[in-house]
Structure 1
Amino acid sequence: MKKRPEITAQTRQNLIDSFWLLYCEKRIENITVKEITQKAGYNRGTFYEYFTDIYDVLEQLEASLIPSLDELPQFTIQNQTMGMPLDMLMKLYEKNSKYYSVLLGDNGDPGFASKLKTSIKPILKQELIQYNDLDPIEFDFILEYILSAMIGIMSYWFRNDKKLPAEDLIRLIQDIMTNGVTNRLLK
């Protein structure tokens, strides 16, 4: 007898949710299949119907959080000095903040930031390429710098309970990108 798809999807999600609750408390290497299945109310065999191991749960969860190009919020650059899709990243981060704040945090997955940058870079490249005539290799390094800074500051903002209003954060980042850090510090 075949299982109904909605039950199968719910079982898989329950296992992911149980994994996530544990992952928020401790590092992945300290999580066991037994803990996940006990928390979810299933047996080990059920776990292995959906995942090969604990790292597979993390991989599948992260894959669901990495937007494809057509899922990324659209952005436009109002002037050539902006150079960053802050509103796009803010929307993406807000939508997934429950996960991003942990995955990009101190006990999260170090590879997740790289996966996120890899997914965002093509749309950023497509939008910014028209505003410059840089060497493609230099341009790639600049994009890496921009994305690393944006992801880093967004993570820091969430870890610090959004102490700075979102509009002020965006204005600060734009000012730093336009005028540089030194100019900002010596104001």
Structure 2
Amino acid sequence: MIKNPSITAATRQNFIEAFCQLSQTEPVTKITVRELTQRAGYNRSTFYQYFDDVYDLLTAIEDLVLTQIMQNLANSFDQGTLAETFVTAFSQAHATLASYYEVVLTDSDQARFTKRLKVMITSWLTTNYQLATTDTQLMYVVDFYLSGVIAVIERWIKQQRDLPTTTLAALIRGMIDDGLAPQLILLKGK
């Protein structure tokens, strides 16, 4: 029997949406296949045609977010500073996939998503900026930069984007260009 691709995509999407809804009220570790199938309106066997388990579904959501971020990075490459490029890429992905972002950023295993994101962005940076991955010190700099930028952007999204995108990009750029101490002094004097 040949399945209709649009129905298959819709069924998969319904499970993802049900997962996102459930994750708003309970931790990901507590979501069960039974709850998902009830929320989505399907039976267990249908769920298992699409996903191995709840964590496989979570990985699918992470993959969607990561793909969107990387597409946005590629689209905004060379359109401003690196900080602006990152903020824009994350902001656009959040605008498109807000409920998915909430899942990957509030998951108790958020570190897994962040690690995957850092690996993908490191690869993107080394390719687009022709960085030597064999340069140990350079890779420490890249890791430090990405850890900080990703943490700031994740906080910004969790805080419902409480700063304009341009302000956040300027803040990140200032911390990178000038260092932390001058930024603390500058902001403390406000």
Q: Give the TM-score, by structure 2 length.
A: 0.82
Report the AA paired with residue 75 of structure 1: F
- For 2:169 and 2:142, the matched residues in 1 are separated by 18
Q: Which runs of 5+ in 2 are unaligned?
A: none
Change in Cα spacing, 1:92 to 1:10, as seen in structure 2 (3 Å) is closer
Report the AA paired with residue 103 of structure 1: V
The list of structure 1 runs, each at least 4 consecutive aligned residues, that deviate by more than 6 angstroms after superposition, is none
Match of 2:60 in 1: 60
Match of 2:25 in 1: 25
**Which is worse superposed, 163-172 or 102-111?**
102-111
Say whether 1:76 aligns with 2:75: no
- For 1:28 and 1:134, the matched residues in 2 are separated by 35
Change in Cα spacing, 1:182 to 1:103, as seen in structure 2 (3 Å) is same
1:102–1:108 contact (8 Å) kept in structure 2: no
Report the AA paired with residue 15 of structure 1: F
Shift in Å, 1:153? 0.9
RMSD in angstroms over aligned alpha carbons? 2.6
Match of 2:44 in 1: 44
Between the two proteins, the alignment pairs up a number of residues equal to 182
Residue by residue over 1:114-142, the C-alpha shift from the partner in whole angstroms, topping out at 9 and shown as x without a partner, is: 11111111222234447xx9971111111
1:105–1:155 contact (8 Å) kept in structure 2: no
Change in Cα spacing, 1:28 to 1:119, as seen in structure 2 (3 Å) is same
- For 2:6 and 2:65, the matched residues in 1 are separated by 21
2:37–2:43 contact (8 Å) kept in structure 1: yes
Shift in Å, 1:77? 7.1
Report the AA paired with residue 177 of structure 1: I
Percent of aligned pairs with the same amino acid: 31
Shift in Å, 1:108? 5.7
- For 2:123 and 2:100, the matched residues in 1 are separated by 23
1:125–1:143 contact (8 Å) kept in structure 2: no
More helix by share: 2
- For 1:31 and 1:174, the matched residues in 2 are separated by 39
Q: Give the TM-score, by structure 1 length.
A: 0.83
- For 1:97 and 1:68, the matched residues in 2 are separated by 12
